[in-house]
Amino acid sequence: MTGGDVTGGESSRAGLFVTFEGGDGAGKTTQATLLEEWLRADGRDVVRTREPGGTEVGVLIRDIVLHHRGEVAPRAEALLYAADRAHHIETVVRPALDRGDVVIQDRYLDSSVAYQGAGRVLGRDEVRSLSLWATEGLLPDLTVLLDLDPAAARLRLDADDKPFDRLEAERETFHVRVREEFLALAAAEPGRFLVLDASLPAGQLADAVRERLRSLLAAG
């Protein structure tokens, strides 16, 4: 299913929707911050947000899906992420896009497809369809995929010296499936994705993101 199949009239929206995807430890927060600073310096109105946790409701859901100490059934996990996404898009993202803002978001539906669809082995199509229903078909204008080998990502996470959340603590085989699914999603939608080697210096990655954004901004 391509972007043209599901977005309906979204192509006429005033703002720009940019998402950052990738495995844990890939550097999404760093790149989102650098992009936000660059856009604000250019005089753009920017909304910086994340999933899960971009709203008050989302903060509660984030605590469940990432920090709940007991087991969460895989399908329940997928539904919780979809619930967060539905509320977040309706109350934060879509209003910002209607205003003409640039929305920079850490994770979106591609994370659900990768983590729950592939990681939890629930199936790509089922999880994607759930998110598309929850968001009324909203897809980003650009998705930046920061690709990093899971072993290298784990070294970065270890260096942070912070407790792992439920997903970070999964075995390497889980994270290998997640990475492979992200790359498959990018290959299926090359017009939407920008795939970057997350092992490169942060400045080099930021330049590549800005170059892609310039063309989108110039196109209106």
Q: Which domains does the chain have, with CATH numbers?
A: 14-218 (3.40.50.300)
At residue 66, the pLDDT reads 87
User: Residue 220 corresponds to which amino acid?
Assistant: G
At residue 4, the pLDDT reads 37
- Degrees, nearest 5: CA angle 195-7-181: 35
Q: Tokens 């209106």, residue?
A: 220
At residue 200, the pLDDT reads 97
At residue 8, the pLDDT reads 40
Structure tokens at 209: 């993101």
3-state helix, strand, coil in the chain (%, to 5): 60, 15, 30
Structure tokens at 150: 């899971």
pLDDT one digit per residue (tens) for the chain, 220 residues: 333 344 444 556 789 999 999 998 899 999 999 999 999 999 999 999 999 999 999 999 999 988 877 888 999 999 999 999 999 999 999 999 999 999 999 999 999 999 999 999 999 999 999 999 999 999 999 999 999 998 897 887 777 767 766 677 778 898 999 999 999 999 999 999 999 999 999 999 999 999 999 999 988 7
At residue 1, the pLDDT reads 32
For residue 52, is the peptide bond before it cis, meaning its omega torsion is within 30 degrees of 0? yes
